[in-house]
Every structure is written in structure tokens, then in C-alpha cells.
Structure 1
């Protein structure tokens, strides 16, 4: 996977500094030397990816030989087909443990766990089977049958119970993202969570993780289409429908699930009178580091999710320009790349690495995420890093920032969000004009 501890350390250091995903950081560290091709495990090629949903589907389709008329159905293109980008901000306050949790959404329909994949496979006209049984025994049997038939399955495990993220108990039942289960070996299953080397999980742990969250308990998606080409007219319609969904969704008026969410969050970061304003909610500093770290981990691809995905969307626009024969779409891509850079600045502001404890926190987060990408070979390192990470987060729960620095952090984050809202609103309007909306 890597050529030694020094390379791993350099990759993870870059992840912590830049917020990049493991594969991207590794490619930069290796430079022109590159590396060997992708790892093949039990007949499954580990291709990595960024967005959990579209990476899972892209990898399944590649495995089954399902393509577009001009080549693979890539992760960026599938992101567009599924409705593209979204916007969302919610600050949860839970009375049972007096916790405060920041939730950010960056994809279309982010608040509905399986809706994007459902829309994607429907628009592409793929032959798929959904299983949504509530019973754990029946769900385990359905998965076993799929694997025995050689069919990889997309499932939605709870991150705490699936184990390899090594999360603390208070995150039990907080959900997770889709992964691909592609093989069984003894009492373990092989899981692709955008990994680049084999990652296995005890079957019992996966079964428990799949059954944990009631709203999507034991959901499973199996693609039946095989060695097929999505017709050109079907693909064009799917891409166009997905882009229209992006424009319509982001143009909505919701202050939680559309672009106004960024404007609301910008105001609440500095509003000292609002009940949900950060100055009031975090007046006692309880949960403050969790909130700030949550922003960094949600925005940057180095976290457990896919990050803000504006760059992946830009890549999709370039590909969509060819699919739709609309060169102006490629011209829209740079707008979204610039917006992605703005999101990176926001994340840097939220969790500044010139503070030693915060720098170490970022390093440990990158180590855990990087070691997941390294599969079973990284098991011991990610377990040790996670133990230190959560101990450090508990030790500095109120955030290691003095009041003056904290005020500057909130103010600068607010300014970044105001600029992001304006830039995204302008980019959405421009994209709508290209689409004739």
C-alpha cells in the first residue's frame, strides 16, 4: 500500500494541512513516481473515491461492466445525475447530555439517506434490487445470498458499530454513509469504504451496524445490470435532469436545506441576541471544540464523509459539457472550483492549526481516515490514533482558544460564509441560465 512509515507520515501530514483525501495527498507526495495500479481483492478492484454515495455506485458499475456510450460512468458524472450539490446547516442541541452538534449538508437531498442513489439508478434506467427488511436475520441472509451470487451490495452501516472508525460510545446510532460489501471470508466480510487496500469487518459487527438506525434499517441496494451501455439519449436526459435538480434545489427558500442556510449560519455565528446564535449556544463553551472540529471534518475531504464536493461537481460539469454537447458547462466549472477554495478557507478558520492542540487533533483525524484507506494494514495505527484523538478532544472540549481569538474565528467564519453564499447564488443562477432555466 505504501513504502513505509515515512511515506505514510508524509501523506497524513499533508492530509492534516490541506484537508485532502488520502489518495489525493498520496499522489501529491509520490509525485511523478506515481505508484502501482489499483489493488484487486477477491475479484473486486479498489478504486477509492470521495463522495460515499456516488463512489460506491461508480465502483459497483465499473465492476459490473456498466458504462456510458463513451466510457465509464465516473463519480463526478454520477454526482450530477443524482442531483448534484445541496446546502444545509442545522445546530442540534440535545437535552439528554447537553450536547451541541453542527450538521452540514453538501449534496442534493442530503437529509434523506438513500434518496440520491435511488434517483441516480432510476434516471439511468439501471436494473436494481432494493431490500429494506426490518429483520436482522432476513437482512443477513439477503446479503449472504447476494455475495454468494457474486453480486456486490451497497449497504448503510452505523459508523460506531461498524468499528473501523473507532468512534466513542456517545456516537452510537448517529448513522453513517453507504459502503460496498463485495465478498465474504469466514466470519468476516470485505468492505469498500473508498479504500485502496482490503478492509474486512466481522460479519456480526456489520449486521449490527446495518440494523442500528431505524429510518433506514438494513437497507441494501444490488445492481443487476451487467455488461451494459447506458444509451446516449438516456444518459443525456439523466445528466440534464440531475443538473436541473441542482439548480432548483439550491434556489429554494429553506434556511436549513437550500442556499439560504449559509446566510443564516453566517448571521448566527456572530448574533449575540439570537437563541440559536453561537455566542449564546456556546457561552459556556460546552461542546465548542466538537462543533469547530465538526465543521472542519464535514467541509474537508480528509474527514469521514466526502467534504464539500464542489471540486467533484466541477469535474462533473466538464464531463457533462461533452455528454450534453454544451461547452458552456465546462466554463461553469471554475466558478465551483473557486467556491471550493472558499470552503477550504472556512475550514482552516474553524480549526486553525497554529494552535498546537488543534494541529495535533487534525493530524490524528487524518491518521484515522488515512489508515481506513489503507485497510486492514492500518488497523493498529487507526485504533491508537482514535484513542488519542478522542482523549484530546475531551481534554480540550471547550476549545483551546482565548476569547479574543474565538471572537475572530467566529467573525471570519461569518465573513467567509457571506462570500460563499453570494458566490454559490451567482454560480447557481449562471448554471440555470446555461440550462435555460
Structure 2
């Protein structure tokens, strides 16, 4: 075993101890606790509270907090959609709790006053040449299903996902993806994951002061709406929160949660998804509200208390969702085990991570009915969080 490998294993054990200690102290899930620990860890640890803002913090180095970069990107938002597909047994639900739909990293760089260039090319040769000639860290949009340490099958198609490139070692790309050390990936595999567009963000120098006010104005505008200027705006911002609460409470209509997800297996899916969207997927813990409160505090702006309180409520929604049936709690344990493997990263963990994914996908078969009135209780919490956020926005 090399010195580097021994050092990495030592870091993994230390990180796990810190995460377990935080879990015992706060009652958080492993995923949430790990994100908080990594947010205060040395930069070599790679991760943070939210994937995109952590990548950008690592790329820019000292002088930038993750909270400031997340806030400059637009911080928080809310998008709620339900999609129905014939090939699925139940509708799929998604919530995006961070600012949306503007591209997150370019928005942060623009409002931070940092030069950057977003380029695409359909030529593999040109993409490789640009990657080799890039100086410093660049950020590339790849297909997450083709990163071996994620252990994904890709059965639902490509998943656009930004990663940092910390350099090339011959024909090996060093990928920053929230693991303890940059993940080595053969150049050919990276180019295959990079996709047809080969999108790359090249980060330059700071040319001006951060434009906090523009970023906050965008956040406020997208929470109060309109966002897209079409019929889908009902799904965004405070309107989207009202729609979510209304559909949770509806016990008779076809769009009500008790009708849309009427079987235990379907309930397992939607409650698991609700938890993940508020704590893990395209968000920081607490639906990004705590991270945004930290941004407002750093910027000297009001609304901190309200957004911190709203974040605690969104975390309560997530906790009640994952605690609604025993098999959901088993799912969270498997997520914990999967996350521990992914900390080390690399192709070596791919088979184990994929096996855990297969176990998770079969859990719905053992789902049991949730308690009566759960969705109404969740709707009450959603309304409580929205009212706090509306108060905060009124101050901004």
C-alpha cells in the first residue's frame, strides 16, 4: 500500500468518526451530517453542503465561502412537478429547492464578478485539446451514470452533472466529485462521460466586486413569480409550495397524494423522493434554507432568523417522510452505507455501490401503509415554512 493510499484511509476513518459524532449529537442522517462535516473540512476533502457550490468553492480556493457562492448563484428557490409515464407503476415527483432554472454555477460566477467562459464542442479531439490546455481547475458537465463510483445503471438516460477537473496525469483525469481525494478516471472514460456537447466552464480572474443585490433580487423574483412566463409558473416559488400543500391535503381528487400514490409501494417512492429532494438531490440540507441564511448573515442582510426556522421545518418534513415506514428507515441505512463507500470514490467501489442500489430498488416490495393523516401533517409544515419565507422575502 502506498503512502498516499494509507493517508487516504486515515482521512476516511477520521471523517467517519466526525460524521458519526455529529449524527449522535444532532440526530441527522449520515448524508446530512457528512455534508455539514465536509463543509468545514480541508479542501482536499472535496465535498460541502451542496454539490455545485462545493465544487465552485474548491475551484476558487480560499477567500470564498460556500454560503456566499450559493447565495450569489441565486440561493434558494422552489419547483414542484409530478410526471406520469406509462412505463412506471406510479407517478414520479420532483422538488428542486435551490434556485432554478438559471444555470447555477455560471450565475454564481457572474454575480461574483469572476471571468468565465462556457464552451461546448461536438468534437472529441477539440474537447481533449481544450482540457489539456486549461490552466487551473475547470468544471465540466458529464453524465453521472458513467462515473463508476456512483454505481448507476443509466436505465433512465443520462444525468447531467458538474464535476471539477483538477488536472491530467498523462491519460488520467483527476476528478473532483465530493470524495476525499480527486478520483482518477481514464481519459477515454472521462471523454465518454463528457457527452456530445463537451460543456466546460473555464474560470478566470476576479474583475469586480460581488453583486449581492442582483443575486438577492433574482431570488426574491423567482420565489414570488413569475419565473418562466407561462402556465408552468404555478409550480414555482411560493405558488409551487401552495400547490404542493394543496395536493398533499386533497383526499378525493386524482391529483391528491393519497390518490396518486395509493399503494404502499407508491407511498414508499414518493416519501423517499420527498426526503431526498429536501436533503440530498440538487440541494443542501434543510432545502438549502440554512445555507441561504448563512449567506444573508455574511452579506449583512435581514431574513436570517426566518430562513433558519424555515430550514428546520423543511428538515422536519424530510425526517417525517423517511420515518413513515420501517422499510424507509432501512432505505436510509443503505444510503448511509452507499455514501460511506463513495467517500473513497474510484472505480474500485463501483460494483459494491451498484449492488446497494439494487437492494434499495427492491425495498418498495416490502412497503407498509403510512399512518392516516400524514400528508395533511406534512402540508401544515409546508405552509408554515412558506409563511416564514414570505416574511423573510418581505424584508429583502
1:159 alignment counterpart:
144
Alpha-carbon deviation of 1:91? 1.2
1:283 alignment counterpart:
262
Task: Classify the secondary structure of the residue corresponding to 1:196.
Answer: coil
1:348 equivalent among 280, 299, 319:
319
Within 5 Å, give how 1:1-400 maps onto structure 2. 1=8, 3=10, 8=16, 11=19, 17-19=27-29, 20-25=32-37, 38=42, 45-62=44-61, 72-109=63-100, 111-112=101-102, 115-146=103-134, 150-173=135-158, 175-211=159-195, 217-225=197-205, 231=208, 234-235=209-210, 238-253=211-226, 254-285=233-264, 287-301=266-280, 305-307=283-285, 308-321=287-300, 329=301, 331-352=302-323, 355-376=325-346, 379-380=348-349, 383-397=351-365, 400=367
Bigger shift: 157-166 or 282-291? 282-291
Unaligned runs of 5+ in 1: 28-33, 40-44, 66-71, 322-328, 433-437
Alpha-carbon deviation of 1:340? 0.8
Alpha-carbon deviation of 1:408? 3.3
Alpha-carbon deviation of 1:198? 3.0
User: CA-atom RMSD, angstroms?
Assistant: 3.0
Taking the aligned partners of 1:243 and 1:350, their CA distance within structure 2 comes to 31
Alpha-carbon deviation of 1:176? 3.6
Deviations 1:127-168 (A, max 9, x none): 22211223444333322332xxx3321112222122221123
Q: TM-score, normalised by structure 2?
A: 0.84
Taking the aligned partners of 2:90 and 2:21, their CA distance within structure 1 comes to 30
Taking the aligned partners of 1:18 and 1:131, their CA distance within structure 2 comes to 39
Taking the aligned partners of 1:76 and 1:248, their CA distance within structure 2 comes to 20
Deviations 1:11-65 (A, max 9, x none): 36966951324153579xxxxxx9xx736xxxxx445322222222222111xx7
Alpha-carbon deviation of 1:362? 0.6
Task: Classify the secondary structure of the residue corresponding to 1:276.
Answer: coil
Unaligned runs of 5+ in 2: 1-7, 227-232
Equivalent residues, number:
377
